[in-house]
Amino acid sequence: MSQAICSSCGKGTVEPVQKPGRRMRFRNFEALELPASLAIPTCNYCGEEWIDAGTTEALERALADAATKALTKLSEEAIQVLSEHCPQRDLEVLLDLSRGYLSKVKHGKEKPSALLAALLALLARNPERRLDEVRRFWSTGSVGPRLVTTSTASARIGQDEQAASYGY
Amino acid sequence: MAPYYSLEDVKTAAGDDRVELGGKNFNDRLLPWLRTPLAARSFARSVLLELSPGDYFKSVTYGDVACDEYGIAISTDLQDAFRIRGLVTWYVKLRLEQRRGGKTVLLASLHGAERDFDERRAGGPLRVEFELREP
C-alpha cells in the first residue's frame, strides 16, 4: 500500500504509475529501460518513486531480463561480425568455449555473461588484429606490448621493437 | 532534541521488511555501490538495523511531513558484507508511517555523507569517511 503523502516533498500523494521511458542502473549497466507495464509508486507532485519490497523484486526481475537481452543482443552482433573472420568452431576453441556454445548464445538458448559479451564485442571491433592477438596470448602466455598513450593522434607503443611485429 | 520517531519502531519495521526507499536516491546514490535493487534494499535495511540513538542528528519538517536525520558510521562487517569497505559514513533521512500491516519506514535519503556531522549529532561529531578501499 502506498504512502499517502510523499516523504520527499511533503506535498504530493503517491500512487502506482506505469509509463515508458524509465531507466535504472543495474550491475554493469549505467541505465536499462524498465518495462512500461511495471507499476512503481510515484509522487504526483515531485515525481519521486517509492520502492517497496514488492517493487524491488519486480525491478530486479525486469532489470535482470533487460540485462540478459542487452548482453545477448551485443553478443549476437559480435558473433555475426566475427563469423566473417573466423569459423565459429575455431572461435570457440580460441576462447575455450564448449562446442556449439556460441550458436546457443546466438539463438538465445544460452545467456552470455557480461565478461563474454564484452570480450566478443572487443574482438569484433577489430577482428583480424584482435583474434591474432588472442592467438599470441595463448602461444606466448604474455600480454606483450601495450599502448602507453591512447590519443588517436599520437598513439605510442610501450615496446617499439615488439610493437613493430604486431603491425600497429 | 530527540528524534521524532522511535528508533525501536524503525528497527522493528526494518526487521520486518516494511521499508520504502526514495527512487531517485535509490538509483543515483545507492545502486552505483550496491549494483542491484535487491542488494540496495538489503543494505538499506541493514543500515537501519545498525542505527543507534547516538547517530541521531536532527529532525526536519516540510509541509505535514516530519523526518529524522541520522549520521552513521557503519560497521566493518556491514561494509564487507556488501563489498563496500571504506564507505563508512552514511546520511539517513527517514519517517515512519502507520500502515495496515504496521509502521513502515519511508527512507527519503540514504547516501554517503557529503559533509561532517557536527556537535548536533547525539553521539558527537562524525567526520566523513567515504572512499572505497581494498578489504
Q: Which domains does chain B have, with CATH numbers?
A: 7-112 (3.30.2310.40)
pTM for the full predicted model: 0.87
If you search the block for the grid coordinates 541505465, which residue do you land on? Answer: A31
Residue A12: closest C-alpha in chain B: B63
Q: Which of A95-99, A111-115, A150-154, B127-131 has the lowest mean pLDDT?
A: A150-154
Cβ contact (<8 Å) for A48 and B23?
yes
Nearest to A9 by CA among A39, A50, A38: A50
DSSP for chain B reads: ---SS-HHHHHHHHHTT-EEEEHHHIIIIIHHHH-SHHHHHHHHHHHHHH--GGGEEEEEEETTEEEEEEEEE--HHHHHHTT-TTB-EEEEEEEEEEETTEEEEEEEEEEE--S-B-TTSTT--B---B-----
Predicted local confidence at residue A161, as pLDDT: 43
Cβ contact (<8 Å) for A56 and B41?
yes
pLDDT one-digit tens code per residue, B44-70: 999 999 999 999 999 999 888 899 999
pLDDT one-digit tens code per residue, A146-159: 777 665 555 555 44
CB pairs < 8 Å spanning A and B: 82
In this prediction, residue A118 has a pLDDT band, given cuts at 50, 70 and 90, of very high
The contacts of residue A45 (CB under 8 Å, 6+ apart) are A6, A9, A11, A12, A13
Interface of chain A against chain B, CB under 8 Å? 1, 3-11, 24-27, 40-42, 48-53, 56-57, 59-60, 63
DSSP for chain A reads: ---SB-TTTSSSBEEEE--S--EEEETTEEEEEPPTT--EEEETTT--BEE-HHHHHHHHHHHHHHHHHHHHHHHHHHHHHHHTTS-HHHHHHHTTPPTTHHHHHHTTSS---HHHHHHHHHHHHSHHHHHHHHHHHHHH-S----EEE--SSS-EESSHHHHHHHT-
pLDDT one-digit tens code per residue, A34-53: 999 999 999 999 999 999 99
Per DSSP bridges, beta strands B89-99 and B102-112 are antiparallel
Q: Is the pLDDT of residue A168 over 90?
A: no
Smallest CA–CA distance, residue B56 to chain A, in Å, is: 18
What interface predicted TM-score (ipTM) does this complex get? Answer: 0.91
Helix axis angle for A127-140 and A53-83, nearest 10°, is: 90
Cβ contact (<8 Å) for B97 and A3?
yes
Cβ contact (<8 Å) for A49 and B26?
yes
Q: Within 10 A of B59 (CB to CB), how many other CB atoms are there?
A: 16
